[in-house]
Amino acid sequence: MVSSASRTLSTIVACAAALACSVSADAIKINGAGATFPYPIYSKWFAEYNKVHPDVEINYQSIGSGGGIRQIQAQTVFFGASDGPMTPEQLQASPGRILHFPTVLGAVVPVYNIPNVRTELKFTGPVLADIFLGKITKWNDAAIAKLNPGVTLPATDITVAHRADGSGTTYIWVDFLSKVSPEWKSKVGINTSVNWPTGVGGRGNEGVAGLVSQTPGAIGYVELIYALQNKISYGTVQNMAGEFTKASVESVTLAAASAATQMPPDFRVSITNAPGKGVYPISSFTWLLLYESPKNKAQAKAMVDFVKWALTDGQKYCADLGYAPLPESVVKLEMAALAKIKLS
Amino acid sequence: MRRSNSRSELAFRLGIGAFGFLIVAIVCTIGIVLAVQSMASIRKFGLSFWLTRTWDPVAGEFGALPFIWGTLYSSVIALLLATPIALGIAVFISELCPQPLRQPLVFLTELLAAIPSIVYGLWGIFVLVPAVRTVERSLPELLRGTPLFSGPPLGLGLLSAALVLAVMVVPFISSVSREVLKSVPTAQREAAYALGATRFEAIRTALSYARTGIIGAIMLGFGRALGETMAVTMVIGNNPRISLSLVAPQYTMAAVIANEFTEAADELYLSALVEIGLVLFIITLLVNSLSRLLIWSMNRTSRVVTAPEPVHASA
């Protein structure tokens, strides 16, 4: 009885081992995990890349930026992905040197629902900060009216809608508010979730968009892709040059180009409120995280080749999926940085 | 012959005993793992974690009180709404229902329990929340001034969460209560009728005979409501502020873990979220132990139908 059970077991183990060998023999498998925001383009990239290079299989789990950082620190995945750069403490706590590589750009837009107002509203950073701090509570507040002459704003109460789940979108939004409002910076600060002074929390972009569309007088923020795909109207935001710009693929790429002139060598840079003309101020990179000296050299070589492809040929898939492509200048800097990864 | 018999008997006992022990081991392991993983937060905040109201991931200040409050408040309101309805269903099905209707009704109430909670959440967002908002808007000014209804009428908030939870726990309470009522001996009812009781009085006797079982059923529903995550987070408004208002957005323990766990990158933040899990675990244990204690003390004072085990059914 016992011997027959153990025989069955050993047969199963042998089969499983044989199966595992046969798979790993002909393909390089790379596992990654992290941010949900770039997941649509990453999965597109991995699928397209696999068509050109059938010997490389990249598997990505969109478990969130925080999860991605934890997994790469624990070395359970080969690469991580994050919507916010790792903090110096997190880099310190990692077992090896981790490099950041921007892949695409995203933007966050203010969406609102004001009864009987159909025109596109203009916002400035300080006004948005005061609304989200709970200091501006009515739509006909003088601060909003001054920016939007000719628009009849009702005396409706403002309901702030924000993300309840931790997210890179929130990170970009509050990073911008911190730059334009000293009060936001000291009272609330920057993180993927914050202690909101006011408002209600919805889960995911769809949760916030649902809240805003259902609640008269609501204002919230969603990713540009989400607003575009769901045809939600959104406001313009004043940039450093004083222009009210609308988020678009072009104005977001411009923000990155303007930041590229002062790009730090490790690419850990926030490009919210970037200077320059035509720039949309609530924009951000999203990053891939790689070890400078990976243990598995075969995987490292395949991954570096993939990143090179993604930064050049891969960028053409951006626009269709609502992301903004990287400007040439940033791609050039990254190509040089990729050479630093130790492949032997 | 006899020897081999006693040997297989022993093996059987040991095997079954191992399964029984497994449950204890699993519960203990969950508790230990939660405690170990939340050590950073336990060391830093100690008992004040249970008592402070700030939840600020940026400053690294964490207090669980608003989540404890939101969890208990929404579950209690849900039970207040669900218990009378569920008991009504149970009594109707077991005592008054015409035979051909009985099986379809039993099937339908049990079907309610089989609907995934995310579906309840979607139904909550698209149907319940707008309806609740309309009701909240039409509340008279006098009521809106009271602490129970103060705040802007958003629709999202504690009331919506409690209503969704109530619908979700009704099938649990009614199914178990129905089984308990079914196990009341016919002699009890016959005795009541023999003494000249009306139908209502006879049912009341049966209910009183089955009361510990019914309390067990309610506690089962309470456990379910405490741990429900997805449907609640979609309609409660997710705002960690302690408020008596049914209209105000609030937050629950299970919801904050589900919402913030994936993006929590620094160690203290993560450990505070795990400690929320530990708090939820402890509160669930306490609720279940208290209900056992209640049933035990009732059983001691009167011989009644034994109650089913109150189990914590998680989402």
Higher-pLDDT residue of B128, A64:
B128
Chains A, B: CB contacts under 8 A, how many? 97
- Tell me which residue of A165, A156, A94 sits closest to B263, measured CA to CA: A165
Q: What is the pLDDT along chain A (344 residues), one digit of tens a residue?
A: 444 555 555 555 454 444 444 444 468 999 999 988 899 899 999 999 999 999 999 999 988 888 899 899 999 999 999 988 898 988 998 999 999 999 999 999 999 999 888 889 999 999 999 999 999 999 999 999 999 998 999 999 999 999 998 888 999 999 999 999 999 999 999 988 999 999 999 988 888 998 898 888 999 999 988 888 778 889 999 999 999 999 998 999 999 988 888 889 899 999 999 998 999 999 999 999 999 999 899 999 999 999 999 999 999 999 888 899 999 999 999 999 999 998 87
User: Is position B104 within any domain?
Assistant: yes
Position A22 scores a pLDDT of 44
Name which residue leads in pLDDT, B309 or B246. Answer: B246
Q: Which domain holds residue B42?
A: 38-301
Question: Least CA distance to B264: which residue of chain A?
Answer: A66
- By CB neighbour count within 10 A (0-12 exposed, 13-18 middle, 19+ buried), where does A183 fall? middle
Q: Does B130 touch chain A (CB under 8 A)?
A: yes
User: In terms of C-beta density within 10 A (0-12 exposed, 13-18 middle, 19 or more buried), how is residue A85 classed?
Assistant: buried
Cβ atoms of A160 and A184 within 8 Å: the answer is no
* Spatial distance between the Cα atoms of A40 and B113, rounded to a whole number of angstroms: 34
Distance CA(A255)–CA(A179), nearest Å, equals 15
Residue B307 lies in a domain: no
pLDDT of the residue at B303? 53
DSSP state of A278: T
Give the closest of A66, A164, A194 to B262, CB-based: A66
Identify the burial level of B197 via C-beta atoms within 10 angstroms of its C-beta, where 0-12 means exposed, 13-18 middle and 19 or more buried: middle
pLDDT tens digit sequence for B232-276: 999 999 999 999 999 999 999 999 999 998 888 788 999 999 999
Burial annotation B152-189 (CB, 10 A radius, 16+ → b, else e)? bbbbbbbbbbbbbbbbbbbbbbbbbbbbbbeebeeebb
Res A7: pLDDT: 54
Structural domain contains residue B233: yes
**How far is residue A127's CA from residue A239's CA, in Å, rounded to a whole number?**
13
Based on C-alpha coordinates, what's the Rg of chain A?
A: 23
Are A125 and A109 in contact by the 8 Å Cβ rule? The answer is no
Nearest to A193 among B133, B249, B263 (CB): B263
Residue B108 pLDDT > 80: yes
- A291 three-state secondary structure: strand
Q: Inspect the interface and report whether the beta carbons of A201 and B265 lie closer than 8 Å.
A: no
CB atoms inside a 10 Å sphere around CB B258: 19
Tell whether B128 is covered by a domain: yes
User: What count of Cα atoms within 13 Å lies in the side-chain half-sphere of residue B207?
Assistant: 14
pLDDT score recorded for residue A1: 41
**Which stretch of B74-78, B127-131, B299-303 has the lowest confidence by average pLDDT?**
B299-303
Of A89, A165, A189, the CB nearest to B260: A165
Q: How far is A245 from A237, CA to CA, in rounded Å?
A: 6
| β A122-123/A236-238 pair status | parallel
Residue B310 near residue B291, CB atoms below 8 Å: yes
Q: What pLDDT is recorded for position A18?
A: 46
**pLDDT beyond 60 at B79:** yes
Q: pLDDT for B31-68, tens place per residue? A: 999 999 999 999 999 999 999 999 999 999 999 999 99
Chain B residues 147-206 with CB within 8 Å of chain A: 152, 154-157
Number of domains composing chain B: 1
The reply to whether B73 falls in a domain is yes
Nearest-angstrom CA–CA distance, A338 and B14: 60
Q: How far apart are CA A331 and CA A323, in angstroms?
A: 16
Please say if the pLDDT value at position B169 is more than 60.
Answer: yes
pTM of the model: 0.84
pLDDT reported for residue B312? 53
Sign of CA dihedral A19, A23, A26, A29: negative
Q: Say if A72 is an interface residue toward chain B (CB within 8 Å).
A: no
Residue B231: closest C-alpha in chain A: A203
Chain B residues whose CB is inside 8 A of the A167 CB are 263
Give the model's pLDDT for residue B3: 60
Of A90, A168, A191, the CB nearest to B57: A191
| CA separation for the pair A18, B226 (Å, rounded) | 47
- Two tokens at B248? 């105000």
B7 is a domain residue: no
| Look-up of token digits 């769901």 | A230
- Partners of A236 in the β-ladder: A122
* pLDDT given at position B299: 77
Does the residue B19 lie in any domain?
no
Q: Min CA distance, B193 vs chain A (Å)?
A: 56
8 Å CB contact of B239 and A201: yes
**DSSP string computed for B116-133:** -HHHHHHHIIIIIHHHHH
Contacts of B130 in chain A (CB under 8 A): 214
Quick one: pLDDT at residue B142? 86
DSSP calls for A25-71: HH-EEEEEEE-STTHHHHHHHHHHHHHH-TTEEEEEE---HHHHHHH
Give me the residue from A67, A159, A211 closest to B262, CB to CB: A67
B73: domain CATH number is 1.10.3720.10
